[in-house]
Structures are given as structure tokens and as C-alpha cells.
């Protein structure tokens, strides 16, 4: 009498289950990478808008009255622009400057007071 040897290999059900698990892992990984790339881009835009706004605030501090009301940061920073609003605080007599740096990811507002 011959002993029955177990068959080697995987059944169709086992292969399909393995493929289903593998495809789930791949889809989840791709979604995670996409989310983190978008978050990185948003963070980069916010940092760029902040640095450009600080530059414009320092320029406003140095130039005072000669500041334009709005503009952009040139072709090197396409999509980023700025706006300056000057008012006088009646209680203290100080000039209040609001410098808004606007980028694709949102806007940052800097407030500065000067005598004058």
C-alpha cells in the first residue's frame, strides 16, 4: 500500500486572500504617503509666507512712510503677495502697521507699532 503524500503549493483561496491583504497594505501606504506630501507642501508654504512677511515687516520698519500699500514678492515667489494697512492708534498716538503676507497655503499677519 502506498502512503498518500501531501500535495505541495497553495490553493486558489489562499492566493486570493494573500493578494487581498497585499493590495490593502499598498493602498493604505499610498494614501499615507500622499497625505504626508500634501502636509509637507502646506508647511513649506506657511514657512515661506512667514519669512517673506518678516522681510516685509523689517522693510516697513526701516522705510516707514515710504511703504507701498500692496504688491508681490517678484517672480522668485510666484503666488505670494503682501498688503500693508497703516492706521493711527488714537489712545497712544502710535502708528499701527498691519503687514499681511498672503500665500497659496493661507496668510500671516504681522502687527507693528511706531512713533510718529
Flag whether 35 is in a domain: yes
Flag whether 3 is in a domain: no
Q: What per-residue confidence (pLDDT) applies to 4?
A: 64
User: Exposed, middle or buried, 86 (CB in 10 Å: 0-12/13-18/19+)?
Assistant: middle
Task: Give me the domain span that covers residue 97.
Answer: 12-114
The reported pTM is 0.70
Flag whether 70 is in a domain: yes
Flag whether 7 is in a domain: no
Q: What per-residue confidence (pLDDT) applies to 105?
A: 84
Flag whether 4 is in a domain: no
Flag whether 1 is in a domain: no
Per-residue pLDDT of the chain (116 residues; tens, 9 = 90+): 566 666 788 899 999 999 999 999 999 999 999 999 999 999 999 999 999 999 988 888 888 766 678 899 999 999 999 999 888 888 888 988 899 999 998 889 999 888 86
Q: What per-residue confidence (pLDDT) applies to 57?
A: 87
Q: What per-residue confidence (pLDDT) applies to 100?
A: 92
Q: What per-residue confidence (pLDDT) applies to 89?
A: 83
Flag whether 91 is in a domain: yes
Cβ density class 17-26: b for 16+ within 10 Å, e for less: eeeeeeeeee
Residue 44: C-alpha distances to residues 25, 49, 64, 68, 90 (Å): 29, 9, 29, 27, 38
Domain count within the chain: 1
Flag whether 5 is in a domain: no
Q: What per-residue confidence (pLDDT) applies to 22?
A: 97
Amino acid at each position: 500500500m502506498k502512503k498518500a503524500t501531501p500535495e505541495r503549493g497553495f490553493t486558489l483561496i489562499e492566493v486570493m486572500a494573500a493578494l487581498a491583504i497585499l493590495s490593502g497594505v499598498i493602498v493604505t501606504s499610498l494614501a499615507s504617503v500622499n497625505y504626508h506630501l500634501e502636509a509637507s507642501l502646506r508647511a513649506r508654504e506657511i514657512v515661506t509666507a512667514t519669512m517673506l512677511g518678516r522681510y516685509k515687516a523689517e522693510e516697513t520698519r526701516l522705510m516707514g512712510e515710504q511703504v507701498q500699500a500692496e504688491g508681490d514678492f517678484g517672480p522668485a515667489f510666484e503666488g505670494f503677495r503682501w498688503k500693508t494697512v497703516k492706521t493711527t492708534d488714537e489712545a497712544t498716538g502710535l502708528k499701527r502697521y498691519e503687514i499681511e503676507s498672503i500665500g497659496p497655503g493661507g496668510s500671516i499677519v504681522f502687527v507693528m507699532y511706531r512713533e510718529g
